[in-house]
Amino acid sequence: MTFNVKHQLLNENELLLRMAEGDEQAFAQLYSFYQPRLLRFVLAFALSRPFAEDLVQDILFKLWTRRETLVGILSLEKYLMRMARNQLLDNLKKQATEQKYLSRVTVEETISSHPNSDLLFREYHQMAWNAINQLPAKQKEIFLLRHLQDMTLDEIAGTLQSSRAAVQKNLTRAVRFIKDQLRHQAGWTFPLICLLIALPE
């Protein structure tokens, strides 16, 4: 099963040029293409769907307001994903007064303060996937369906022709294993894993 299929917007440079000139139809095409991709990325980590939708809306609004600076950008997808990642991390900082968020902020500060923060983030991303790839096949499939496809337990049970209880049991075991692996390697807590694994390859 493939979970991270890439699709390319073939006329993206042309659309960026038209958008820079104020073409709202070009913006609408870019919006339609990237909105679901951004939403899927943010939902892997967001605390709620309304929050995720608002964040994506804000990012795409900034795409329009900054349109004149984006002509010739090498990868609009990477640009937008970086914006999403940064806004998610900013949100964690705002929540840092609550104990359950403190460990996430610590990880973010560790990454941000590192002289090669992008490289470090990618290394952490690979560690997360290494842990996921060590899962038994069924646990891995259920974990990815839940956290990358945003499927409910009932939806997963229907897709796999399994019981909800069995899905919950496998998901719990998968989460426990990944938490243990990443705490051992990098001192992470689980919620940041979703942000890391959702990054495009």
- Asked if the model's pLDDT at residue 55 lies above 70, the reply is yes
pLDDT at 152: 86
Q: Indicate if 52 and 89 belong to the same structural domain.
A: yes
Residue 56 in tokens: 């994506």
Q: How does residue 167 score in pLDDT terms, banded at 50, 70 and 90?
A: very high
- Asked if the model's pLDDT at residue 166 lies above 90, the reply is yes
Q: Which of 11-20, 139-148, 162-171 has the lowest mean pLDDT?
A: 139-148
Q: Indicate if 83 and 16 belong to the same structural domain.
A: yes
pLDDT at 190: 46
Tell me the CATH number at 68. Answer: 1.10.1740.10
Residue 175 lies in a domain: yes
Kindly state the average pLDDT of the residues 62-79: 86
Provide the residue count of the chain: 201
Inter-CA distances, 97 with 10, 102, 183, Å: 45, 7, 22
pLDDT at 143: 87
Report the chain's mean pLDDT, rounded to a whole number.
75
Q: How does residue 18 score in pLDDT terms, banded at 50, 70 and 90?
A: very high
Whether the CB-CB separation of 44 and 197 falls below 8 Å is answered with: yes
Residue 110 lies in a domain: no
Domain-ending residue, one of 94, 128, 157: 94
- Asked if the model's pLDDT at residue 138 lies above 90, the reply is yes
Q: How does residue 1 score in pLDDT terms, banded at 50, 70 and 90?
A: very low
Domain-ending residue, one of 94, 129, 161: 94
Inter-CA distances, 134 with 52, 68, 143, 176, Å: 30, 45, 12, 13
77-130 pLDDT, tens digit each: 888 988 888 888 777 666 554 544 444 445 555 545 544 445 555 666 677 788
Residue position matching structure tokens 């209880």: 165
Q: Indicate if 123 and 51 belong to the same structural domain.
A: no
21-40 pLDDT, tens digit each: 999 999 999 999 999 988 88
Residue 196 in tokens: 């890391």
The radius of gyration of the chain's CA atoms, rounded to the nearest angstrom, is 18
27, 49, 30, 28: which is closest to 40 by C-alpha?
49
Residue 31 lies in a domain: yes
pLDDT at 42: 83
pLDDT at 8: 55
Number of domains in the chain: 2
Alpha-carbon distance of 139 to 174, in angstroms, equals 6
Amino acid, res. 93: K
85, 181, 173: which is closest to 130 by C-alpha?
181
Q: Indicate if 130 and 83 belong to the same structural domain.
A: no
Alpha-carbon distance of 6 to 20, in angstroms, equals 25
pLDDT at 3: 34
Domain of 73?
Answer: 9-94
Residue 153 lies in a domain: yes
Alpha-carbon distance of 9 to 14, in angstroms, equals 10
Q: Indicate if 132 and 197 belong to the same structural domain.
A: yes
Residue 19 burial (10 A CB sphere; 0-12, 13-18, 19+): buried
Kindly state the average pLDDT of the residues 117-146: 78
Residue of 2 and 135 predicted with greater confidence: 135
Tell me the CATH number at 121. Answer: 1.10.10.10
pLDDT at 137: 92
Q: Indicate if 199 and 121 belong to the same structural domain.
A: yes
